[in-house]
Amino acid sequence: IDIKTLRSATGGVITIDPGYKNTGSCESAITFLDGEKGILRYRGYSIEELADKADFLEVAYLLIFGELPSQEELDKFHSDIKENSVVDDDVKKILDAFPKSAHPMGVLSSLTAALTAFNPSSVDVESEEDMYNSIVRIMGKFPVLVSWAMRKKHGLPLEYGDDNLGYVENVLRMMFKNPNREYEQNPILIDALDKLLILHADHEQNCSTSTVRITGSSHAGLFVSLASGISALWGPLHGGANQAVLEMLEAIKEDGGDTKKYMAKAKDKEDPFRLMGFGHRVYKNFDPRARIIKKAADEVLGDLGVEDPILDIAKGLEKEALEDQYFVDRKLYPNVDFYSGIIYRAMGIPVEMFTVMFALGRLPGWIAQWREMRLRKEPIGRPRQLYIGENYRPFSPIEKR
């Protein structure tokens, strides 16, 4: 039965599903996820294998174009990205206008939207070639904006990448190069960031991705669609959870490290406190990304020789939650962001940049979903509602109110 016939057969019946818990918004061939079994695959490849064997740029190519690239395809993709990594100088003036206190997620969302003004051809993308050009432009400029958002906050001069370096190596260099000391590449950090970005690269129709698709469905253009996705990601119930987790762990440490007290708060329905980094809309079993990240956190901290009491608090909370009936009944397990902040912290990334790092990882997923939506010529996203307001009332003049 086609959708038009269905619509007339049901006489305009509307499904109400707050939070779209059981509503599919599209058909997609990008990411498969089985929340009951804890399976996550990009284009058919398991997240475990990709995190172990691929690098971030390969995974980006896979998500966006559907197949793992040959060496030649990957080299071309990388060199097109590098060629498009210069950001118009006037963007620096916009950055300058932000107060130092501005959250880097707000800065990143604004600058990503602003790029449209400097690249107007990125809006009319009728052919696959137009799409490709927009994609390599944003893949090139986005890490620059990410690093600028951080450098502005820390009063460091703005940097560009080094064309001889890999994509992820350049991200770290652009973030950490400091005029007062020699910058040295650290392979442990490069590997750890590569893995984290792969784990965050796509997650089917989550809040920010749905936002990107719905904005893009009005044919608003790639960069502004991404900017709306960045804003959606910012919230603490979504990507902002990684910052919230670390702040929560810090607060528990400051408060004497009593994890039981915070477990009780999380279960108290009168208390708005939630255990950040626990629970997931789709995973009702362990989040497979959390498993990989937990192991990576141990390795990175070990390799860097960092002893972080926050990691012990995190492990303590996890153990208690896994044995607690409230958490067991509701199938609340640690999600991807329970451990990512601990790694970011060990890497020297400031806490307000954690969600920005998530955005950097999610960029190829958002792009892939936007591209799929445009290539499939999906209609404009426009949910309905059930009206529960007043019935007709005659207008009352102001002197009679």
Binding to ligand ACO by residue 266, rule CB under 6 A? yes
From candidates 77, 142, 167, 278, binder to ligand ACO by CB under 6 A: 278
Taking alpha carbons only, the member of 333, 56, 69, 300 closest to residue 199 is 56
Secondary element (H or E) of residue 186: none
With CB under 6 A as the contact rule, which of the stretches 26-34, 82-90, 191-199, 335-343 interacts with ligand ACO? 335-343
Residue 352 contacts residue 246 (beta carbons within 8 Å): no
Smallest distance from ligand ACO to CB 77, Å: 26
**Contact between 241 and ligand ACO (CB under 6 A)?**
yes
- What would you report as the CA-atom Rg of the chain, rounded to the nearest whole angstrom? 23
Catalytic residue among 280, 303, 308, 312: 280
335 binds ligand ACO (CB under 6 A): yes
Q: Which of 274, 284, 291, 315 binds ligand ACO (CB under 6 A)?
A: 274
Could you tell me if 114 and 137 are in contact, meaning their C-beta atoms sit under 8 angstroms apart?
no
Q: Does 330 bind ligand ACO (CB under 6 A)?
A: yes
Rounded distance between C-alpha atoms, residue 233 and residue 240, angstroms: 7
Does 281 bind ligand ACO (CB under 6 A)? Our answer is yes
Strand, coil or helix: 46 = strand
CB of 277 to ligand ACO, least distance (A): 5
336 vs 343 by CB, closer to ligand ACO: 336
Single out the residue of 204, 318, 337, 372 in contact with ligand ACO (rule: CB under 6 A): 337
Q: Residue 34's beta-bridge partner residues?
A: 39
Toward ligand ACO, which CB reaches closer, 266 or 353? Answer: 266
Query: DSSP states of 111-174 as a string?
Result: HHHHHHHH-GGGT---SHHHHHHHHHHHHHHHHHHHHHHHHHHTTPPP----TTS-HHHHHHHH
CA dihedral 214→216→217→218, nearest 10 degrees, is 110
Binding residue (CB under 6 A) for ligand ACO from 143, 229, 279, 288: 279
Verify whether residue 238 is a known catalytic residue: no
What are 331's two structure tokens? 């199938």
Residue 137 vs 203, nearer CB to ligand ACO: 203
280 a catalytic residue: yes
| Footprint of ligand ACO (CB under 6 A) | 19, 237-239, 241, 266, 274-281, 330, 332, 335-337
**Catalytic residue positions, numbered:** 280, 337
